[in-house]
């Protein structure tokens, strides 16, 4: 992939001086239109060998474009905060919003390439990481982002000469370190690892642009023109940027599904409830204070029918924990800031570090529930969301998070009863809205959406627990017991002696 970047490309001064003013004006016009358009972000990745002009090119972009709408994100070794979260967390946080351009100096490719050179991962692990990155970039493009990936290349002799020249120049000497020279010794390993990575991730939606880094003028002009052409082409394209990556849903031919099969008559008497509530709250308190839990985080996701008892269940969970250990994230309609990002962005920002608990009251499943049913997103968006959600939860699990998902189900009759009770009680009136009543009219559509999400996103690492919630006591104990059992399995702790408890469905 690097042959064309070792041919000795150069641009003379006269040509460069003639081309640059026109290019700068056009880039500013495109940037202004992007800002006014506000429909997509531009994500620019700058990677390559040491001395190939990565930093100089970023400086040129700041000179040629409006810096107010351009941001640079530089990534080195992860901080303690970043190490305690999934690998991609820090990149999600840095994504530019729609209408802006983000330049990544170092990116999600840097660590896998370095780890492969150092022998810390084998080729199979590298391929797995590249597959995850391909899916991440596909998600960005599906969400509307324009992704441009540049790899600046130098031959080994060319890199040596560049480093020597930079070292002699007082203005650039600081860029050359002992590590720069040390990495020159691993040039062949870098070319092998980088070549493989580029081949694996040279996708139609986010291809690599390999640029020879020997001549500054050639490099700058090439990058500027590529960015301009890509922005102009995308701005001129008025089509919706939707690419479904999931097959159509299977038709339903009988009345049996994961919700109709639930026994909503299950109940727990008050005395048994009080005993088991105390038991499982005590066990949960022990587990989140266990030394092994410091190596994990706990993410609890609550979804369910309106008035199914999510809030009451959450209060029974938090009663067993120190308030400093958990955060409750209530999820409503996205804000303007959140709408300017990929839809999973607002959930990534709340991922807890090890030893902490995040409780989501409504979740990322809104994309395949309310947004699907209410038509707030295109069919292609919610169809591909199943795969993106599975990837998201798999990444959380792989990093050590324990993901526990609950769907609380009640009957239509019980829901109507609770709605009317809420209207009569002063301190519960805020819980019932016109939207809740309107949603009852679409109960069949929501029923189908719930069955589909369970079928498509209940995985071995993040399974759904369906909770029969007509009886609040039964539901709360089942939720607490499920949490404790998941934590015990993940922490490999010894389980307490079995006692009579709620029958699990």
d(C-alpha 320, C-alpha 312), whole Å: 13
- Domain at 270-491, CATH class: alpha beta
Strand partners, 304: 408
Handedness of CA 276, 281, 283, 284 (dihedral sign): positive
SS3 475: helix
Q: ∠ at Cα 446 (442, 452), nearest 5°?
A: 150
Q: Which segments of 441-500 does DSSP mark as H helices, in order?
A: 443-457, 472-491
| DSSP state for residue 74 in the 8-state scheme | E
Pick the CATH number of 3-236 from 3.30.70.20, 3.40.50.300, 3.40.50.1970, 3.30.70.260: 3.40.50.300
pLDDT above 90 for 437? no
Given a contact cutoff of 8 angstroms between Cβ atoms, the answer to whether 39 and 98 are in contact is: yes
Query: Do 270-491 and 3-236 fall under one CATH topology?
Result: yes
> What tens digit of pLDDT does each residue of 116-141 get?
998 999 999 999 999 999 999 999 99
Given a contact cutoff of 8 angstroms between Cβ atoms, the answer to whether 361 and 331 are in contact is: yes
d(C-alpha 190, C-alpha 184), whole Å: 9
Report residue 172: phi and psi, to 5°.
Answer: -125, 0
Domain boundaries, the chain: 3-236, 270-491
| DSSP state for residue 478 in the 8-state scheme | H
Q: What is the pLDDT of residue 498?
A: 54
Q: What is the DSSP string of 320-382?
A: TS-TTTEEEEE--S--HHHHTS-TTHHHHTT---TT-EEEEES-GGGGGTHHHHHTSS-HHHH
> What tens digit of pLDDT does each residue of 377-397 get?
988 899 889 989 999 999 999
pTM of the entire predicted model: 0.82
Q: Which of 340, 336, 344, 339 shows the shortest CA–CA distance to 97?
A: 340
Sorted by sequence, the CB contacts under 8 Å of residue 147 that are 6+ apart come out as 43, 45, 137, 140, 141, 205, 206
Sorted by sequence, the CB contacts under 8 Å of residue 164 that are 6+ apart come out as none
Phi-psi region of 447 (alpha: psi -120 to 50; beta: other; left: phi over 0): alpha
d(C-alpha 491, C-alpha 476), whole Å: 23
SS3 105: strand
> What tens digit of pLDDT does each residue of 173-213 get?
777 777 777 777 878 888 889 999 999 999 989 999 999 99
Q: Which of 111-125, 239-253, 371-385 has the lowest mean pLDDT?
A: 239-253
Cβ-based neighbour number of residue 326 at 10 Å: 19
pLDDT above 90 for 308? yes
Q: What is the pLDDT of residue 423?
A: 78
**What integer is the mean pLDDT of 366-371?**
96
Q: What is the pLDDT of residue 242?
A: 55
**In percent, how much of the chain has pLDDT > 70?**
93
> What tens digit of pLDDT does each residue of 321-361 get?
999 999 999 999 999 999 999 999 999 999 999 999 999 99
């Amino acid at each position: 992939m690097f042959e064309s970047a070792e041919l000795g490309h150069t641009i003379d001064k006269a040509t460069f001086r003639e081309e640059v003013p026109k290019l700068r004006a056009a880039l500013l016009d495109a940037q202004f239109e992007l800002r006014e358009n506000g429909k997509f972000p531009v994500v620019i990745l700058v990677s390559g060998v040491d001395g190939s002009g990565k930093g100089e090119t970023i400086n040129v972009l700041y000179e040629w474009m409006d810096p107010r709408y351009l941001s640079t994100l530089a990534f080195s070794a992860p901080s303690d905060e970043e190490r305690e979260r999934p690998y991609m967390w820090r990149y999600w946080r840095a994504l530019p919003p729609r209408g802006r351009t983000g330049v990544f100096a170092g990116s999600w490719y840097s660590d896998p390439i370095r780890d492969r050179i150092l022998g810390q991962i084998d080729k199979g692990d590298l391929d797995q990481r590249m597959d995850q990155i391909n899916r991440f970039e596909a998600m960005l493009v599906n969400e509307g982002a324009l992704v441009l990936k540049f790899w600046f290349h130098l031959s080994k002799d060319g890199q040596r000469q560049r480093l020597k020249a930079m070292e002699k120049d007082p203005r650039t000497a600081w860029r050359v370190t002992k590590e720069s020279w040390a990495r020159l010794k691993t040039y062949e390993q870098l070319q092998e690892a980088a070549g493989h990575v580029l081949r694996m991730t040279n996708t139609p939606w986010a291809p690599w642009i390999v640029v020879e880094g020997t001549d500054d003028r050639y490099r700058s002009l090439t990058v500027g023109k590529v960015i301009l052409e890509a922005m102009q082409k995308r701005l001129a394209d008025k089509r919706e940027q939707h690419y479904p990556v999931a097959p159509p849903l299977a038709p339903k031919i009988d009345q049996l599904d994961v919700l109709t099969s639930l026994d909503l008559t299950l109940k727990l008497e008050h005395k048994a409830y009080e005993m088991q509530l105390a038991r499982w709250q005590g066990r949960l308190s022990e587990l989140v204070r266990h030394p092994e839990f410091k190596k994990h985080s706990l993410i609890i996701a609550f979804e369910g029918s309106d008035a199914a008892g999510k809030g009451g269940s959450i209060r029974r969970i938090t009663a067993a924990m120190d308030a400093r250990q958990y955060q409750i994230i209530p999820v409503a309609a996205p804000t303007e800031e959140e709408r300017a990002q990929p839809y999973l962005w607002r959930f990534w920002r709340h991922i807890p570090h090890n030893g902490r608990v995040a409780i989501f009251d409504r979740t990322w499943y809104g994309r395949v529930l309310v947004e699907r049913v209410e038509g707030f997103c295109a069919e292609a968006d919610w169809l591909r969301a199943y795969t993106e959600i599975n990837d998201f939860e798999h990444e959380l699990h792989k990093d050590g998070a324990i993901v526990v998902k609950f769907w609380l189900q009640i009957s239509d009759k019980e829901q109507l009863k609770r709605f009317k009770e809420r209207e009569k009680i002063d301190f519960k009136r805020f819980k019932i809205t016109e939207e809740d009543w309107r949603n009852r009219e679409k109960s069949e559509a929501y029923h189908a959406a719930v069955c589909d999400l369970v079928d498509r996103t209940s995985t071995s690492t993040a399974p759904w627990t369906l909770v029969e919630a007509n009886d609040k006591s039964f539901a709360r104990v089942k939720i607490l017991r499920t949490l404790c059992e998941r934590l015990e399995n993940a922490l490999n702790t010894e389980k307490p002696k079995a006692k009579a408890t709620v029958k699990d469905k």
